[in-house]
Structure 1
Amino acid sequence: MFQTELIEKCRNNDRRAQLKLYRQYCSAMFCVAKRYLASREDAEDAVQESFIKVFKNLHQYREEVAFGAWLKRIVINHCLDRVKKEKEKLLALEEKYLNAVVEENGSWQVEDSVTPKMVVRAIEQLPESSRYVVMLFLLEGYDHEEIAQIMGITEVNSRTLLFRGKQKLREILREYKVV
């Protein structure tokens, strides 16, 4: 069955098609949710709740982007909403930093001895405010405009948080004696 046909059946409330679509994407979306939420249970709940939202709003999906990319964005937004609800304020930045202009050299290169596992472990140690921006930028591939929109911050703030996150990431990796 072609993807467009499967999506159309889901739009018509075909439960078998919905289950098939769910099974097709649930593992990948769980991995995405797990990056943002601390516990496995929270990530599983977020995936379930995201799929419920997707099936209710499937009529809004326009095939201008891949379904997986559309779904991924919904899962990420849902996870970030959950984090925001748990914390009174996700980002607690002083006014002076909001207006700071940050220059980036754009380099994310690390020593060959750095493994992806080390980078993920280092990202998990970042402060929440910069962790999510680093994850959206580095792991998900979003640009500052998209990150600002997703997180409800300015592009300048996104750049600032990415800059700080990158600096802290280097410090953490230096502690591993690899950078």
Structure 2
Amino acid sequence: MKIHHLGIIEKCKKHDRRAQLKLYNQYCDAMYNVAYRFMKNSQDAEDAMQEAFIKAFKKIDSYKGEVTFGAWLKKIVIHTSIDMLKSAKLKFADVDDNYLNVVSDDDWEIEDGISIEEIKSAIAQLPQKYELVLSLFLIEGYDHSEISSILDISEVNSRTQLLRGKKKLKESLKQTSNGTGY
């Protein structure tokens, strides 16, 4: 028997362990994938995901349903992953091919012949402050107000880092393109 989604959340607010387990089982795979894109390996991703669920259940009373529960939880997973990266000073991990959705305005046009692997590699070579903003904007699809909230920087700083990161990424891809004879 399937419990209505909001019913599960209401039960979680009352610290119902079975409801928490149901919610966990419903979202753990997707949230692991989010964490994995930020962390270096599966163990770190697992740790970040578990920590995020603990935080989510502790502050589930603050979930008011303005966004989907998945979107609310994803933000907690991203915050937790970034906090873990900052504290461990880990290198930002490569992104999965399936999640690289380069925005299609003219500024983001990539020359033909440059592979997803080369784009991922170029993003990974950027200084971390550019890498984080580019990844949150291009891959996760967050806007500048969300990025400023996630990274605890101003929107102006987010825009500036995105523009600088984009410029560095294009320069890097141009060198890749020229260096490989495309």
Same fold (TM over 0.5): yes
Uncovered stretches (5+) of structure 1, i.e. residues with no partner: 88-104
SS at match of 1:107: helix
Q: Distance in 2 between matches of 1:57 and 1:84?
A: 22
TM-score (norm 1): 0.79
CA RMSD of aligned residues (A): 2.2
Q: Which residue is 1:32 aligned to?
A: 34
Matched residue count: 162
Q: Which residue is 1:23 aligned to?
A: 25
Percent of paired sites with the same residue: 51
Which runs of structure 2 are paired with 1:52-63 in the superposition (5 Å)? Answer: 52-63=54-65
1:49 and 1:106, CA in 2 relative to 1: closer, same or farther beyond 3 A?
A: farther
Q: Distance in 2 between matches of 1:146 and 1:54?
A: 18
Structure 1 residue 126: Cα displacement: 2.0
Q: Distance in 2 between matches of 1:125 and 1:50?
A: 28
Q: Which residue is 2:169 aligned to?
A: 169
Structure 1 residue 14: Cα displacement: 2.2
- The letter for the 2-side match of 1:133 is V
- C-alpha offsets along residues 88-115 of structure 1, whole Å, 9 cap, x if unaligned? xxxxxxxxxxxxxxxxx86222245444
Q: Which residue is 1:160 aligned to?
A: 160
Structure 1 residue 173: Cα displacement: 2.7
Q: Distance in 1 between matches of 2:6 and 2:113?
A: 43
Uncovered stretches (5+) of structure 2, i.e. residues with no partner: 90-104
Q: Distance in 1 between matches of 2:123 and 2:176?
A: 13
Q: Distance in 1 between matches of 2:14 and 2:159?
A: 42
Structure 1 residue 139: Cα displacement: 1.4
- The letter for the 2-side match of 1:123 is I
Q: Distance in 1 between matches of 2:106 and 2:143?
A: 12
Q: Distance in 1 between matches of 2:41 and 2:88?
A: 13
TM-score (norm 2): 0.78
